[in-house]
């Protein structure tokens, strides 16, 4: 696959300990880059940034990002792919470029919640050198638009949890939105390229890794700025059904404990799942209903979609 590679002036001489890996598709990571760069003076050259455009095909965006890299103090590289590689393959590719002894996978629509975000990660590496660590994410800075209310409700209830709660099921609460992985650990366990489309590749990876390495949880969150509408979430659930089936096939005992799996197995017995999907999707879209009711309807929709995959 064709790839255009652009480095800033700080890249060539850098000897980083940590490589921040940021894949994106049809997003503009400029705000994230600028915020990370504010820590450059306090990092002493310990951090580099590797961006990968996974096939957006936007020449204007590429040109703008090259200009941004030119003024960054952090060493940075931009990889622009001519076609989409996908979430798993793309992240595997990023690790080939990263030169640090650890990788920080950070989604392009994240916004660190503290001005010492990277410094906290470096301090953890120095103090504990963890195999895998997840910093968590929040909705503290996320848009409060009514069209995102259902996504806020879903994330707030099931994903935006403190480290003390996440640590009770360490492999379950691992997302590539804010994930530290030591280089040797990723060399032993890469993302499964058999996953395509949206979702589950990071959770499946964590299931494998947690059998061999400790997964640490800490409170060093970043806000998920890229909230979705109900329709966008429903489409992602549709796209993720095949990936969910793959996780079930690979890790049946682990997935059996997940509420989403239990709900899907229960709904599989129903003869009119297509009707249920239509009704729950419509209910989730209905703004006159309470947000909690709409969020429940969307969870039920997801379970009905997954029922066809289990």
Structure tokens at 215: 């997964």
**108 HSE (CA, 13 A, CB side):** 18
DSSP state letter for 19: E
pLDDT of residue 40: 97
The domain made up of 3-227 is a member of CATH 3.40.1010.10 = no
Q: What is the pLDDT of residue 87?
A: 76
- For residue 80, the 8-state DSSP code is E
Spans of the chain below 70 pLDDT:
1
Query: What pLDDT does residue 41 have?
Result: 96
Domain borders along the chain are: 3-227, 230-310
Token pair of 227 as six digits: 């909230």
pLDDT, position 57: 86
């Amino acid at each position: 696959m064709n790839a255009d590679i652009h480095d800033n002036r700080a890249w060539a001489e850098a000897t980083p300990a940590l490589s921040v890996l940021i894949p994106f598709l049809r997003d503009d990571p400029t705000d994230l880059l600028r915020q990370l760069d504010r820590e450059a003076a306090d990092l002493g050259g310990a951090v580099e940034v590797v961006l990968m455009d996974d096939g957006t095909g936007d020449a204007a965006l590429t040109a703008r990002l090259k200009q941004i890299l030119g003024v960054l103090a952090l060493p940075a590289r931009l990889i622009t792919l001519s076609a989409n590689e996908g979430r798993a393959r793309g992240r595997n590719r990023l690790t080939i470029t990263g030169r640090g002894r650890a990788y920080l996978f950070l989604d392009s629509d994240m916004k660190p919640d503290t001005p010492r975000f990277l410094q906290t990660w470096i301090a953890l590496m120095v103090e504990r050198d963890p195999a895998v660590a997840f910093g968590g994410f929040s909705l503290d800075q996320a848009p409060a638009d009514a069209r995102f209310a259902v996504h806020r409700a879903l994330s707030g209830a099931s994903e935006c949890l403190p480290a003390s709660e996440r640590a009770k099921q360490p492999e379950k609460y691992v997302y590539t939105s804010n994930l530290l992985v030591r280089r040797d650990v990723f060399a032993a366990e890469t993302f499964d390229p058999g996953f395509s489309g949206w979702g589950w590749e990071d959770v499946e990876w964590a299931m494998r890794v947690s059998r061999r390495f400790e997964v640490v949880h800490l409170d060093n969150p970043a806000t998920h700025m890229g909230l979705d509408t109900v329709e966008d979430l429903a489409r992602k659930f549709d796209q993720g059904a095949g990936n969910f089936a793959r996780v079930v096939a690979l890790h049946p005992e682990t997935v059996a404990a997940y509420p989403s799996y239990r709900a899907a197995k229960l709904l599989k017995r129903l003869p009119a799942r297509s009707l249920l999907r239509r009704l729950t999707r419509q209910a989730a879209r209905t703004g006159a209903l309470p947000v909690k009711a709409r969020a429940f309807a969307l969870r039920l929709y997801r379970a009905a979609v997954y029922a066809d995959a289990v």
